Structure 1
Amino acid sequence: MTAPAGTRTLGRNGLVVSALGLGCMGMSQMYGAADRDESIATVHRALDLGITFLDTSDVYGDGHNEELVGEAIRGRRDEVQLATKFSLRRNDRGGMDIDGRPENVRACAEASLRRLGVEVIDLYYQHRVDPRVPIEDTVGAMAELVQRGEVRYLGLSEASAASVRRAVAVHPIAALQSEWSLWTRDLETEVLGVARAAGIGIVPFSPLGRGFLTGAITSPDDFADDDWRRTHPRFTGEAFAANLRLVDAVRAMAGEKGCTPGQLALAWVLAQGPDVVPIPGTKRRSYLEENAGALAVELSADDLARLGEIAPPGVAVGGRYADAGYAYGDSPERAA
């Protein structure tokens, strides 16, 4: 693909981003070893393709990912819509703590600006809602960053419908980042409608099912020893075999459409509305270019209906995380 990716608008206050984003997490953690030079080249290639909406977080690689992204966009900052997140921190028990205290909001933002080497963050997300801190207090502190000119727009990630409603009463929210793909459709049950009613754009992460929907993964042995997916419920045991049947059906339809399975899966997410901007993650230029090709895949109403039959809500076997509460920390009853 050589044509520009085009743009979409997130939120009612006019955050214009590329129609497809780039998730940068895998350049620093989770999916096996990454090559620094290839990662930076991938960011540069994304910008050349018009994929200018970059997503990172202070917890990815414990700050490494922000430093990497900052280095990659040096000299090209004006081309980029830069998103990062705060509130998660690794603990000594091997898990994550959530900290939504106002003082932590300010400290994390200052550290992110320093690591990224920028004067302003375009979109600043609360990575997970802290159930111990009123979201009004957290979003109030985030709003102060906007007032000071350090942040342009605010976002939430994996927030429940109740948290979304409370947050928008304090300050406009431009984007809600949540997992959404052919095999993860629980967002559609309640949260999607609440977000759209509030004028919030949707930023799906893992729109390719953590790579599974590309068809490139056919066995648990395909994962490197240090790949986080080895412990993921959907990639282990009987769940893996059951979920392969979904991929087989997507692959068959992709063959008919003349595209790859990943492009078909990504095109489905893109077709969910003009307020939807998926951020497939990759650390390689070849996969980035394949993902960009999804922008040219046209799906008819019949195509979408067929995909809905192939992958109805709840089709995936196995939970989203080993710790189910991590999916919706502020709303345990929705954890899946």
Structure 2
Amino acid sequence: MNNEKPIVLGLWPIAGVTTMGVTRSDAEATIATAIDLGVTAFDTAFSYGYDGESDKILRPFLAEDRDRFEVIGKVGQRWSSDRKRVIDGSAGTLTTDAEESLRRLGIDCFDVLMLHSPDPNVAIETSAAAIAELQRRGLCKRTGVSNVTPAQRAQFASVVRCDAIECPLNLLQRDSLDQLIPEANQDGGQVYVFWTLMKGLLAGKIKRDHVFAEGDSRPGYPIFQGAARERTHRILDQMQILGERTNRTIAELSIGWAVSQPGVTAALVGARRPTQIRETCTATRLPPEIVSEIDQIVASTDSDGM
């Protein structure tokens, strides 16, 4: 990254596919606010929006000062004519979609171009070779892969250098710390983590009695259901107390915990309104004693106890 702030603005929420009530004016204001607050890196994808909305909304900001910003792009997912998500890691599709995404953005080159997710019907080495060819053509400076297992990352890296990965990480979902992140770091790769707020739940704003709008995808995630949801709220109750003592919001603590883990470069933080990014982009790496206290809160909140 070209700045010290460990925050990348993730543009999925402003694409309007699973986020309710997105408006173009709010999306533009969110990006402008993030820039005003020092964010200079953005994460987009060919499939962020049914018609490339995130690329198109970001475009005018890049036009003002391209060299100031870092753009992470992803290819390998797209939408069918009936708006079904399609994973396609074939060389032809990756090439076509990368070229189209660059046209939408109005730029010549991605700073990082990633395979969005492995295609079960295409060898990941084949997809990696297509990304490598795009790099050879000068369409990206660095290459990477998202949504992979450690074995898949290694397979990708056997074809082209894996400069970066994107993977899930939050204080409740830590599997990426076991092998994926350490191995990426060992190879000199950057690590961008998502779901640090687990769709907003770990920001502490979604209360126990919250009713989700029709069409909101979040109730379908296991962490939003039953005992797992209640355990999370008990953890958040304790983090509220910690936040009051340390003058931090729950969101700042949750994101701060993630970016404080060894090997993590930055967190991908989404927002669809300026008020959301004003809070989350202020998150910083935390002192070790606060990280340790968060770990103790999580460990001591028994998943079976009420």
**What is the TM-score normalised by the length of structure 1?**
0.83
1:34 equivalent to 2:22? Answer: yes
Structure 1: distance between partners of 2:173 and 2:302: 8
- Structure 2 counterpart SS, 1:221: coil
Could you give the per-residue CA deviations for residues 278-325 of structure 1, whole angstroms, max 9, x where no partner exists?
011111222212112222x642x332222122235x9889xxxxxxxx
- Structure 2 counterpart SS, 1:173: coil
**Is the 2:231–2:302 Cα contact (8 Å) retained in structure 1?**
no
Structure 1: distance between partners of 2:267 and 2:257: 10
The residue identity in structure 1 corresponding to 2:109 is V
**Is the 2:135–2:142 Cα contact (8 Å) retained in structure 1?**
yes
Larger deviation, residues 63-72 vs 50-59: 63-72
Q: 2:55 aligns with which of 66, 71, 81?
A: 66
Q: Within 5 A, what are the aligned runs for 1:16-27? A: 18-27=5-14
Q: CA deviation at 1:96?
A: 3.1
Q: 1:68 to 1:6 in 2, by over 3 A?
A: closer
Q: 1:106 to 1:94 in 2, by over 3 A?
A: closer
Q: CA deviation at 1:95?
A: 5.1
Structure 2: distance between partners of 1:50 and 1:179: 24
Q: Within 5 A, what are the aligned runs for 1:1-336? A: 7=3, 18-28=5-15, 29-62=17-50, 63-91=52-80, 96-219=85-208, 221-273=210-262, 275-295=264-284, 298-299=286-287, 301-312=288-299
Structure 2: distance between partners of 1:179 and 1:215: 19
Q: CA deviation at 1:275?
A: 4.3
Structure 1 segments of 4+ aligned residues over 6 angstroms from their partners: 314-317
**Is the 2:114–2:146 Cα contact (8 Å) retained in structure 1?**
yes
**What is the TM-score normalised by the length of structure 2?**
0.90
Q: CA deviation at 1:149?
A: 1.0
Structure 1: distance between partners of 2:147 and 2:278: 28
Percent identity between the two aligned chains: 26
The answer for unaligned runs of 5 or more in structure 1 is 9-17, 318-336
Structure 1: distance between partners of 2:46 and 2:8: 18
Structure 2: distance between partners of 1:268 and 1:96: 32
**Is the 1:262–1:291 Cα contact (8 Å) retained in structure 2?**
yes
- Structure 2 counterpart SS, 1:61: coil
The residue identity in structure 2 corresponding to 1:163 is Q
The residue identity in structure 1 corresponding to 2:7 is L
Q: CA deviation at 1:99?
A: 1.1
Q: 1:65 to 1:242 in 2, by over 3 A?
A: same
RMSD of aligned residue pairs (Cα, Å):
2.5
Structure 1: distance between partners of 2:295 and 2:80: 40
Q: CA deviation at 1:91?
A: 4.8
**Is the 2:257–2:286 Cα contact (8 Å) retained in structure 1?**
no
Number of matched pairs: 302
**Is the 1:157–1:177 Cα contact (8 Å) retained in structure 2?**
yes
Structure 1: distance between partners of 2:257 and 2:66: 30
Q: CA deviation at 1:89?
A: 2.7
Structure 2: distance between partners of 1:315 and 1:187: 22
Q: 1:315 to 1:276 in 2, by over 3 A?
A: farther
**Is the 1:126–1:157 Cα contact (8 Å) retained in structure 2?**
yes
